[in-house]
Amino acid sequence: MIIIGERINGMFKDIARAINDRDPGPVQEWAKKQEYNGAHYLDINVGPSSTEPVEAMKWLVEVAQEASDLPLALDSTKYDAIEAGLKLCKQPAMINSVPAEMAKMERVFAMAAEYGAEVIGLAMNEEGIPKDADMRVGLAAELVATADAFGISPDMLYIDPLALPCNVAQDHGPEVMRTLREIKMISDPAPKTTVGLSNISQGTKNRELINRTFAVMAMANGLDSAIADACDDELMAAVASARIILDMDIYCDSFVDVFKQRNR
Amino acid sequence: MAVEILKEKYRSKVGEVVLGATKEDGGTRSHTITVGGESALPYLHFEGEIPNRPVVALEVWDIVPEWNPCFEQYYGDVYNDPGAWAKKCVEEYGADLIQVRLKGADPDLKDHSPEDCAATVKKVLEAVSVPVMVIGCGKADKDNTIYNPIAEAAAGENLVMGVGELENYKAVTSACMANNHVVIAQSPIDINICKQLNILIAEMSPAMSTRIIIDPTVAALGYGIEYSYSIMERARNGALQGDKMLAMPMYGNAGFESWRQKEANISADEQPGWGEQEERGILWEATTAMAYLQSGIDILVMRHPEALKAIKGNIDDLMKNNSY
């Protein structure tokens, strides 16, 4: 499973402070730490409170790339900030994210085509997050079709079926699982899938347990990637085990270390 | 209407390993041999690169071997002289490289000393200019005492040395690490152990991860060849899908294994229905080796000159570009 390390996000106090003071320390430390622990991408998010998202994004992209060779997932609802970041990326990046809304899709897919970026597509539109799998798959199909119109292959797309906290929207859980399975039938090649892993456990007790249980269940239903805490050792161990059980990696006694060390 | 033919795309490839060293690199070989580098399943030239031809070694022992009498006419005159034996293998029979099997080190046979073993290897290195592989007698306690003297005596030659096993890989690996040789990592027809052993060797020194040859253990035709074949297939698929700890060239003793079996050895008098013994033995060995070429082997160690000739012809055919 592709792990998009979530930690460089202005939502966290140390990163918010680093952005504010233009102190590369914490950003680079987390870039290295996540890479060391097995992340495949680094999510880059300036945070909700940034007053200058474009400049902050540019700074984060440059600083992160000094510390790590991992590709970046540029995470913002402000597409000008994403575009400014894309221009600075040394290797093809990921755009996080776009909902199935025409105006936004046109903006994002044009940008993705220009910079060769992958795109996270959200199974939601102006009306919000659908209640069931059928609606989610329908929106995923809209994302795939619109991307195709811009010459973007479905396997450049990561569809996020959007998981909601399991304590407030329990009935969404099985729908998310079904969505993950059915997304693979939309096209050939099929789009990839992703989730913001920790959404499932917002406001619950024992969040890590819920996160990693969700991760392995979703993997069994075809999940390709997750935006997650790469430094959660138990999560990474659970993912490594699931990869063995799903015959995605060949077993050896050091299978957990091998999964985590593939970047080193 | 034109049909678009689907081709498999592979994410990764097998690492290349260089065997032997020329004068420029501190050795005395006339040339080096590069194995590995495949970026597609065996000989699917239309899906990727097969940049290096598989190579075929003949085996030289440090004692007179108790082989089938049919080998007398090929090696009988040189059984007592490893240097002359190696020279004959290269010059008359066309071996790409030589494997020295130090059977005489076995405490139950001649119990050759580590110094004797090193001297034998030196003799072979002086007699031929092709890259050389060296393996012990097969008894770990004794073999662990001979690796270092050999590795030191042949420092700079970039030997291939073996074998390292899961329970006993440190001595041979450190001898190779210290003197820049390549190590053979042997697993008992077990993909999990194969991978784990490569990890353990790479943990001893990251530099060694590009100096490993996988010996998955090859069985002879009729003795579990399909198990070895499927392990090798799995390893190669893993390598092409990006599993770095399986992305090493592979090696197998096709000659040794084939000539242990009754099908290669029993005389026509004993089994009239089986046909003439020598011809049958050659076929047994060549067929075994051919199957391993199909499963992606990079280094074959053979025994009968005629089987080697047949296999080289087979390799010529397999290396013909079939891309479209």
The pLDDT value recorded for residue B323 is 85
Class for the domain spanning B20-318: alpha beta
Of B196, B234, B246, which has the smallest distance from its Cβ to A253's Cβ? B196
Say if residues A67 and A26 touch (Cβ distance below 8 Å): no
DSSP, res A155: G
Residue type at B22 in one-letter notation: T
Q: What is the pLDDT of residues A77-134, one digit of tens each?
A: 999 999 999 999 999 999 999 999 999 999 999 999 999 999 999 999 999 999 999 9
Cβ separation A250–B244 shorter than 8 A: no
Say if residues B54 and B313 touch (Cβ distance below 8 Å): no
A62 reaches B (C-beta below 8 A) = no
Cβ separation B191–A262 shorter than 8 A: no
Q: What is the pLDDT of residues B225-276, one digit of tens each?
A: 999 999 999 999 999 999 999 999 999 999 999 999 999 999 999 999 999 9
Which residues in chain A have their CB less than 8 angstroms from residue B196's CB? 252-254
Q: How far is A258 from chain B (nearest CA, A)?
A: 8
A103 reaches B (C-beta below 8 A) = no
This model's pTM is above 0.90: no
The pLDDT value recorded for residue B218 is 96
Q: How far is A255 from chain B (nearest CA, A)?
A: 9
Cβ separation B192–A253 shorter than 8 A: yes
Percentages helix, strand, coil for chain A (3-state, rounded to 5) are 50, 15, 35
- Sketch the domain layout of chain B as residue ranges: 20-318
Which residues in chain A have their CB less than 8 angstroms from residue B193's CB? 252
Of A249, A252, A262, which has the smallest distance from its Cβ to B196's Cβ? A252
| Sign for the pseudo-dihedral over CA of B230, B233, B237, B238 | positive
Model confidence at A264, pLDDT cuts 50, 70, 90, reads low
Whether the predicted interface score ipTM is above 0.90: no
Which residues in chain B have their CB less than 8 angstroms from residue A250's CB? 191-192, 195, 234-235, 238, 243, 246
For B70-90, give one letter per residue: b (16+ CB within 10 A) or e: bbeebbeebbeebbbbbbbbb
Helices B225-240 and B191-204, packing angle to 10 deg: 50
A2 reaches B (C-beta below 8 A) = no
The pLDDT value recorded for residue A69 is 95
The pLDDT value recorded for residue B89 is 98
